[in-house]
């Protein structure tokens, strides 16, 4: 009888976070400014001290070590490292060195992201990602940083979720810079892609053995009505612009329409050493004439189970089979795959254990079917500032009181700890945390 879903030896078990969501007092970026605007954040809250990582990241690192986690994905705050154009702050770099050193001392392998939605204010004033100058500026920041941190980290993500950044900021206009401008959106996407290529080259020039990727938000975008050509088109265009242009462009160096004219950019050619995917939910797409929705309105399947963000939330319907599907689709690229984010908002933790186990079950299936998945990073370790949702959505394995900074591990933290230590999902933990899944996981 099979008593566990075993993962391959060396499989990486970690958690993920981003600078602005955890560090606190990031007052030199565009998000800090945005948070001060009445009505910008759902519950009116501000990031404030966040999870207080700038002063006390070690508190969470100690807990991670106690839970037996062996990896963590974090991001660097460009506005701290380069607070003015061309001026690199040694004290900020010193603090990042301390944090990374702290991870290593605790046996936690770092994966570091350079851009996770936030920009220095000076960059915003110069036109931000709409201005092509950003490519060289980003490359310069990345080069400087890798020169200073290459002894502590060798696994990097250049950009987090290009399409989410652009969709929220330039299509929907609900995140800074709050625009509804399709032309601007395409320009920003193009610059992000080229900046990735430039950064990839800079990293490898300093650290030839580095592993570099992008964290891509992956969705399924199934046509709402599988027989409708319009719905098929809507799903196709979203996947093409949001995913394929990136996966293919970083293989063959081509910048495809509508981000380019299919022209070749050498720095982009073979600029991914692995694929990073953030997976939260599966959705369906219905055609609309609105270009600001990329011709598709997304919706969930009828029925089903929703997380705390409910039917209107972006990341809310339980759909682990979609993860299996995505992993199968990406396998032919032949690159190692890391699940760089997966999780859900669930304050009382009554869904997280089941969701976590259901997703890992599908990851296990995908690996069995040949998908080269090398690691899983749960979003997130301790509750953090959830962008325009503020503090009301709680994604943490550990509950955080953002006022007192007190931490209380949720049951899911113990579950995840057991999984990491056993390098697999045992029948015993399944029976303990989600017995209803036993027939599915251990038929
Ligand atoms: C982002 C995170 C975010 C998470 C949950 C991802 O889109 O990379 O920053 O907190 O989803 O919404």
Query: Do 186 and 170 meet the contact criterion of CB atoms below 8 Å apart?
Result: no
CATH (domain of 180): 3.20.20.80
Ligand 1 near 278 CB (within 6 A): yes
Across the 443 residues of the chain, what is the mean pLDDT of every consecutive 10-residue run?
93 98 98 97 97 98 98 98 98 98 98 99 98 98 98 98 97 97 97 98 98 95 95 94 95 97 98 98 92 90 90 82 96 97 98 98 98 98 98 97 98 98 98 98 96
Q: Which of 22, 310, 341 to mutate to test the pocket of ligand 1 (most atoms within 8 A of CB)?
A: 341
Look up the domain containing 430 and give its range.
Answer: 4-441
Report the DSSP beta bridge partners of residue 14: 71, 377
- CB of 254 closer than 8 Å to CB of 262: yes
Question: pTM for this structure?
Answer: 0.98
Pocket lining: 96 vs ligand 1, CB cutoff 6 Å = no
pLDDT score, position 301? 87
DSSP state of 85: T
> How many domains are there within the chain?
1
Distance 343 CA to ligand 1 centre (A): 9
Instruction: Tell me how far apart the alpha carbons of residues 408 and 206 are, in angstroms, rounded to a whole number.
Output: 41
Task: Judge if the beta carbon of residue 154 lies within 6 A of ligand 1.
Answer: no
pLDDT value of position 1: 66
Structure-block tokens of residue 75: 């991001």
Q: What number of other Cβ atoms are within 10 A of residue 248's Cβ?
A: 14
Token output for 435 = 């017995």
pLDDT tens for residues 249-305?
999 999 999 999 999 999 999 999 999 999 999 889 999 999 888 899 988 888 899
Q: Is 175 in the pocket of ligand 1 (CB under 6 A)?
A: no
Nearest atom within ligand 1 for CA of residue 384 = 10
Per residue in 370-390, pLDDT (tens digit) is: 999 999 999 999 999 999 999
The two tokens of residue 359 are 């997703």
pLDDT at residue number 317: 92
């Amino acid at each position: 009888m099979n008593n566990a879903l075993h993962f391959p030896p060396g499989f990486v078990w970690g958690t993920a976070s981003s600078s602005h969501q955890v560090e606190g007092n990031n007052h030199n970026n565009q998000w800090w400014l945005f948070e001060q605007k009445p009505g910008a954040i759902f519950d009116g809250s501000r990031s404030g001290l966040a999870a207080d990582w700038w002063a006390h990241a070690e508190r969470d690192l100690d807990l991670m070590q106690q839970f037996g986690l062996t990896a963590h994905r974090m991001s660097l705050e460009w506005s701290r490292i380069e607070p003015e154009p061309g001026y690199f702050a040694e004290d900020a770099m010193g603090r990042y060195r301390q944090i990374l050193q702290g991870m290593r001392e605790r046996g936690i392998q770092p994966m570091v992201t350079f851009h996770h939605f936030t920009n220095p204010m000076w960059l915003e004033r110069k036109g931000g990602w709409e201005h092509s100058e950003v490519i060289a500026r980003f490359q310069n920041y990345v080069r400087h940083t890798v020169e200073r941190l290459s002894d502590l980290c060798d696994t990097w993500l250049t950009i987090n979720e290009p399409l989410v950044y652009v969709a929220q900021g330039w299509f929907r206009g609900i995140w800074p810079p709050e625009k509804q401008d399709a032309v601007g959106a395409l320009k920003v996407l193009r610059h992000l892609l080229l900046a990735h290529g430039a950064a990839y080259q800079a990293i490898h020039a300093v650290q030839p053995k580095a592993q570099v990727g992008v964290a891509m938000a992956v969705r399924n975008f199934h046509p709402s009505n599988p027989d409708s050509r319009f719905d098929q088109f809507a799903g196709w265009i979203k996947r093409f612009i949001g995913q394929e242009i990136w996966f293919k462009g970083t293989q063959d160096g081509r910048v495809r329409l509508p981000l380019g004219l299919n022209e070749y950019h050498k720095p982009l050619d073979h600029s991914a050493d692995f694929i990073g995917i953030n997976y939260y939910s599966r959705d369906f797409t219905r055609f609309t004439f609105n270009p600001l929705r990329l011709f598709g309105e997304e919706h969930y399947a009828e029925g089903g189970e929703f997380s705390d963000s409910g039917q209107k939330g972006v990341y809310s319907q339980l759909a682990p089979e979609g993860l299996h599907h995505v992993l199968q689709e990406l396998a032919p690229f032949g690159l190692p795959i890391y699940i760089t984010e997966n999780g859900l908002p669930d304050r009382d933790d009554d869904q997280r254990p089941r969701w976590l186990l259901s997703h890992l079950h599908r990851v296990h299936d995908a690996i069995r079917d040949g998908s080269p998945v090398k690691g899983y990073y749960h979003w997130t370790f301790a509750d953090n500032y959830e962008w325009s949702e503020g503090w009301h959505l709680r994604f943490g394995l550990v509950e955080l009181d953002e006022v007192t900074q007190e931490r209380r591990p949720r049951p899911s933290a113990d579950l995840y700890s057991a999984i990491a230590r056993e390098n697999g999902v045992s029948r015993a933990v399944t029976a303990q945390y989600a017995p209803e899944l036993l027939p599915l996981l251990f038929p």
